[in-house]
Amino acid sequence: MAVLKKEFIDRMAEIGGITKKDARRGLELFVETLMIYMAENEIVRFTGFGKFEMKTTKERKGLNPFNGTDCIVPEHKKMKFYASEVLADKIKELQRED
């Protein structure tokens, strides 16, 4: 199941003891700021959480999903997230509690 933005904001507000409006604004500011840094090809690191960075994918052969013909997927940039060990361990711990 995917968590929608509204559900995420509701949970942020609940956990943080803040209004949904403040939680929405905080999330929007985070995303906007992250996009600015990604556009500048910066690496954004959060100790104990992970890092975001832009990676260049090489040109490759692919298939057109609409008609099944071969095509070339051009070189392009993708945003990647790498979780820290601390985050990965915390997620495992939380999953064991369920």
pLDDT at 38 over 90: yes
Please tell me the distance from the alpha carbon of residue 50 to that of residue 44, in angstroms, as a whole number. Answer: 8
Write b or e for each residue in 57-78: b if 16 or more Cβ atoms lie within 10 A of its Cβ, otherwise e.
eeeeeeeeeeeeeeeeeeeeee
For the chain, give the percent of residues with pLDDT over 90. 94
Distance, in Å, from the CA atom of 55 to the CA atom of 46, rounded to the nearest integer, reads 18
pLDDT in the model for residue 97: 84
Report the predicted TM-score, pTM, of the whole model to 2 decimal places.
0.81
In the chain, the amino acid numbered 34 is: L
